[in-house]
Structure 1
Amino acid sequence: MTALMRRLLPDIAEVTEVRGELSAPPLFPEEEAVVARSVAERRREFATARRCARLSLAALGLTARPLLPGPRGEPLWPEGVVGALSHCAGYRVAAAARATDLSALGIDAETAGPLPDGVLEAVSLPAERAELARLRAAEPQVPWDRVLFSAKESVYKAWFPSARSMLGFDQARLSLTAAPDAGGTGVRGTFSARLLVPLPPAFADTVGGPVLEGAWLVDAGLVLTAIAAPVRRTAREPGNEPSPYASRPPAPA
């Protein structure tokens, strides 16, 4: 299939994405136990997502192993790896990188369409809704509410592995920008997310400050978002790695 999530992540991340399902070897027994009582559709998406993850891990030189969900459903990646999974109707994707290359990774995939009635108000701040209104007037073909929702999902996936705490939709202030998708189809852009909560020490030590930078794409009937946080350098090291996304002012608090 045409690479979609691949267009949003730096080359140091290994990305496996498919439309539909991959033929997959049997799940590990520990994984099989997770979905033993699940409906067929859930079993298929679980198996394909794990197959995608194993292909991404193999590209990093790692052998196949169970990829089990943690307490909040997050995939428990091997030590020294950051990664994320996502799936929506007919699309599955996994991305992984070495923790020496990226400090956090978050991805999300959604079908391209408006959110159900009432959902936007539940997942956004007043300032975000005002910004979406301005963006909608300039680019009415973009499902901006879905882009915002997806970006917040990516923020959470980048946040949780280090922070180990919940992050509400109202605890990150997002700002979006759009740009032509040079060299590709669809519409794409970047976003910044300012975290509105105190940063847990583990998050601050590994990921850094309160602003995460990401990118989004609307193409082929999908909304995709991604965050690839650079490795934070210590005070004794020369500087921080630049964000892989276009620089832009952080979202206002």
Structure 2
Amino acid sequence: MISGLLPATVACAEAFEDDGEDDLFPQERELIGNSVERRRREFTTVRACARRALADLGLPPAPVLPGVRNVPQWPAGIVGSMTHCDGYRAAALARAADLVTVGIDAEPDLPLRQGMVESIALPSELSWVRAAVPGSVHRDRLLFSAKECVYKAWYPMMRTELDFDDAEIAFTETADGSGTFDARVLRPARNAPGQWVDAFAGRWTARRGLLVTTISLAATAVSVN
């Protein structure tokens, strides 16, 4: 599902069923020692995806440990993102020489719980959600996924928090249940001077009862103050 949404320079791996725990590194196993079985399975499988992506980049297996705000810590010179939801786990990695950031998110194509969309949507986004036609994707969940994807792309570069109302997103949708989105970050970067990114272009698809959103940003698209 995910490889067609990202450039060829991105190594992608995904799983629709869970793997075992035999290949966890000791540091990873320690992190889930007291976790429930469901959490252990998703943790293990998404890291198996990450290691398959590392192998596609010609790199050896390595532990994937959470850093600040649970951002995955990748080997030097690698950028990437992971995601998991019911029935799906994925990782997307690239060399920093090719891309400065990658963000991915997956969600079930189901409505958000009642009242949640009002807490995450700006007025323009809420109007778009409410204009959905019967039988289309669940726009509230797609909006949530895209905002998560923006955060995953933004934070590793800027190290600045974003709230849901700090990014405004506009979508295009095609008849085959896919499309693009443009995200405009409304909060100024706090680490300027340096990299400054206030917009992202993303892609999304709806298949197999899932919504997947992706962002990738080439180094040439980043201006320096």
Q: Same fold (TM over 0.5)?
A: yes
Q: 1:111 to 1:235 in 2, by over 3 A?
A: closer
Matched, 1:213 2:207: no
Q: 2:219: which partner in 1?
A: 231
Residue 71 (structure 1) shift:
2.4
Matched, 1:175 2:170: yes
Structure 2 CA distance, aligned partners of 1:74 and 1:144? 26
Q: 1:233 to 1:8 in 2, by over 3 A?
A: closer
Structure 1 CA distance, aligned partners of 2:201 and 2:193? 15
Matched, 1:195 2:192: no
Paired residues of 1:162 and 1:202 also in contact (CA < 8 A): no
Matched, 1:91 2:79: no
Residue 140 (structure 1) shift:
4.3
Structure 2 CA distance, aligned partners of 1:106 and 1:203? 23
Kindly tell me the number of residue pairs found equivalent between the two proteins: 224
Q: 1:248: which partner in 2?
A: none
| AA in 2 matched with 1:171 | D
Q: 2:54: which partner in 1?
A: 57
Taking only the aligned residue pairs, the percentage that are identical comes to 43
Deviations 1:147-188 (A, max 9, x none): 10000000000011111121100000110111234xxxxx00
| AA in 2 matched with 1:64 | P
Residue 23 (structure 1) shift:
4.2
Which of 132, 150, 171 aligns to 1:155? It is 150
Residue 235 (structure 1) shift:
7.5
Paired residues of 1:6 and 1:15 also in contact (CA < 8 A): yes
Q: 1:141: which partner in 2?
A: 136
| AA in 2 matched with 1:228 | S
Residue 197 (structure 1) shift:
0.6
Structure 2 CA distance, aligned partners of 1:233 and 1:108? 22
Paired residues of 1:89 and 1:111 also in contact (CA < 8 A): yes
Paired residues of 2:172 and 2:181 also in contact (CA < 8 A): yes
Paired residues of 2:179 and 2:203 also in contact (CA < 8 A): yes
TM-score by length of 2: 0.93
Q: How does 1:25-40 map to 2 (within 5 A)?
A: 25-40=22-37
Paired residues of 1:9 and 1:226 also in contact (CA < 8 A): yes
SS of match in other structure, 2:105: strand
Which of 13, 31, 45 aligns to 1:16? It is 13
SS of match in other structure, 1:36: coil
TM-score by length of 1: 0.83
Structure 2 CA distance, aligned partners of 1:170 and 1:129? 12
Q: 1:165 to 1:234 in 2, by over 3 A?
A: closer
Paired residues of 2:80 and 2:102 also in contact (CA < 8 A): yes
Residue 51 (structure 1) shift:
0.7
Structure 2 CA distance, aligned partners of 1:76 and 1:129? 34
Deviations 1:65-95 (A, max 9, x none): 1110112111111111110000111111011
Which of 65, 70, 91 aligns to 1:68? It is 65
Please, what is the CA RMSD of the aligned residues? 1.9
Answer 1 or 2: which has greater strand percent: 2
SS of match in other structure, 1:232: helix
Q: 1:250: which partner in 2?
A: none
Structure 2 CA distance, aligned partners of 1:75 and 1:110? 19
